Amino acid sequence: MRDVYIIGVGMTKFGELWDKSLRDLFVEASLQAIENADVDHIQSMYVGAMSAGLFVGQEHIASLLSDYLGNEGIPATHVESACASGGIAVRQGYIEVASGISDIVLAGGVEKMNDGADVTFALATASDQEYEAFHGVTFPGLYAMIARAHMEKYGTTREQLAEVAVKNHEHGLKNPNAQFQMAISRDTVMKSTMVADPLRLLDCSPVTDGAAAVIICSEDVAKKSGRPLVKLRASSQATDYLALHSRKDLASLPSVARAAKKAYKDADTKPEDIDVFEVHDCFTIAELVVIEELGIVERGKSGAAVEAGITRLGGKIPVNTSGGLKSKGHPVGATGTAQIIEIVEQLRGDAGDRQVTDARLGLAQNMGGSGGSCVIHILEGIS
């Protein structure tokens, strides 16, 4: 297996982009990534999307997008693992370059959610349709049940959940691509509309259109490109029972721990060595459980850690400097790729007002559904 690098990144603004279609979004992000990498061609591509079928009635999207990206007939594959699709796309690109089959691969993700579909129904198809969604439970509802379990088991408070949203909006304020560039108070979160008790509207990531893409390549191509070198030190993936009710501990997300263990091992590193984290905060409770599973904080202590400001930009362990899904927006298929872009920009020193000083190692954690799948990448900036 060969070493693998990321030499180009591109993304659209995230938001309600009424004037852009799915193909417009993906092509815009991809052309940006190609330009950023300064390459003149790609040899194949992977597209992550959760459900262009349910959101816009379009399947076969990898072929469509390769066509609109200036069709040269290259292999183009759509991968899906619900909200983890964008991370999986990067992982497939990683495997293809590592194998030696290709030297330059584009991997990205896209979702066009604001085009008239029943978004709550579409998102719930990430759960077990026959034994969860059938009974009317929604995607926020599943995380609400995790939240209640975590609160009852560890004493995590409603205020601590709100602090995750406050922090991530504070970060998103500094991100020009974020959907919500506005600060919010703890009080605003706790008074926002109830969505699935105990989760309120400002505990939830928004409905977003957007796309993100990266250029993955061999060491040879990376060195010739003259671009800053960011190495993919690990790319790991794990699954779990799809249905939340099947899992022994409802206050945990075992697929995250499983993928993390493999990633730390492959990268020969540990949580303490990582300078910056992007994690999958589709709901405030998700960020809390994930930082426990990643080993950033002790189990059950995540609420207190966030309240103490440890995971804030400038804190000891900055988490979601991009604003996270919460403030940056969550076009489900694009999210995993966009997280990796934030890490690349941090490692390149290109993160502007969001820059973590001397960031050398970064981790991006992306998951599907209520944790039925998880994909983790560890990246290293090589100067």
Distance CA(381)–CA(383), nearest Å, equals 6
User: Minimum distance between the CB of residue 27 and other proteins, rounded to whole angstroms?
Assistant: 5
- Contact flag: residue 29 with a second copy (CB under 8 A): no
Tokens of 352: 């502007």
Distance CA(94)–CA(334), nearest Å, equals 17
Distance CA(82)–CA(72), nearest Å, equals 29
Tokens of 383: 């100067």
Q: Which of the choices a second copy, other proteins, none does residue 138 contact, using the CB cut-off of 5 to 8 A by kind?
A: other proteins
Own/partner long-range contacts of 126-129 (Cβ < 8 Å, ≥24 apart) = 126/50, 126/82, 126/83, 126/368, 126/369, 126/370, 126/372, 127/242, 127/243, 127/244, 127/369, 127/370, 127/372, 128/242, 128/243
311 to 350: interface string for a second copy, x by CB under 8 A: ----------------------------------------
User: Minimum distance between the CB of residue 264 and a second copy, rounded to whole angstroms?
Assistant: 16
Considering only CA atoms, which of 261, 247, 323 is closest in space to residue 294?
A: 261
Residue closer to a second copy by CB (options 169, 258) is 258
Find the part of the chain contacting a second copy (CB under 8 A) among 7-15, 73-81, 215-223, 304-312.
73-81
- Contact flag: residue 124 with other proteins (CB under 8 A): yes
Tokens of 143: 């995380």
For tokens 């190495």, the residue is 231
User: Minimum distance between the CB of residue 349 and other proteins, rounded to whole angstroms?
Assistant: 29
DSSP state string for 338-368: HHHHHHHHHHHT--GGGPPTT--EEEEEEEE
Active site residue 282: no
Question: For residue 119, which amino acid is it?
Answer: V
- Contact flag: residue 92 with a second copy (CB under 8 A): yes
195 to 234: interface string for other proteins, x by CB under 8 A: xxxxx-----------------------------------
Residue closer to other proteins by CB (options 189, 263) is 189
Distance CA(381)–CA(315), nearest Å, equals 21
Considering only CA atoms, which of 233, 339, 336, 360 is closest in space to residue 278?
A: 339
- Contact flag: residue 141 with other proteins (CB under 8 A): yes
- Contact flag: residue 63 with a second copy (CB under 8 A): yes
Distances (CA, A) of 148 to 27, 158, 282: 41, 10, 16
How do 361-368 and 199-200 pair as beta strands? unpaired
- Contact flag: residue 27 with other proteins (CB under 8 A): yes
DSSP state string for 156-170: --HHHHHHHHHHHHH
Q: Which of the choices other proteins, a second copy, none does residue 18 contact, using the CB cut-off of 5 to 8 A by kind?
A: other proteins
- Contact flag: residue 24 with other proteins (CB under 8 A): yes
Q: Which of 78, 83, 171, 217 is catalytic?
A: 83
Distance CA(129)–CA(109), nearest Å, equals 24
Q: Please list every residue from 217 through 256 that binds a second copy, using CB under 8 A.
A: 236-243, 246, 254-255
User: Minimum distance between the CB of residue 252 and other proteins, rounded to whole angstroms?
Assistant: 12
User: Minimum distance between the CB of residue 303 and other proteins, rounded to whole angstroms?
Assistant: 17
Active site residue 330: yes
Q: Which of 169, 171, 330, 377 is catalytic?
A: 330
User: Minimum distance between the CB of residue 153 and other proteins, rounded to whole angstroms?
Assistant: 10
- Contact flag: residue 71 with other proteins (CB under 8 A): yes
Out of 80, 96, 103, 132, name the contact with other proteins by CB under 8 A. Answer: 132
User: Minimum distance between the CB of residue 138 and a second copy, rounded to whole angstroms?
Assistant: 14
Q: Are 276 and 321 in contact (CB under 8 A)?
A: yes
Helix (H, G, I), strand (E, B) or coil at 278: strand
Task: Give the number of other CB atoms < 10 A from CB of residue 258.
Answer: 18
- What's the alpha-carbon Rg for the chain, to the nearest Å? 19
Q: Which of the choices a second copy, other proteins, none does residue 73 contact, using the CB cut-off of 5 to 8 A by kind?
A: a second copy
Q: Using CB under 8 A as the criterion, which residues of the chain lie in contact with other proteins when the complex forms?
A: 18-21, 24, 27-28, 31, 67-71, 114-116, 118, 120-121, 124, 130-138, 140-141, 144-146, 148-149, 152, 193-199, 241, 243-246, 250
List, by residue number, the catalytic residues. Answer: 83, 330
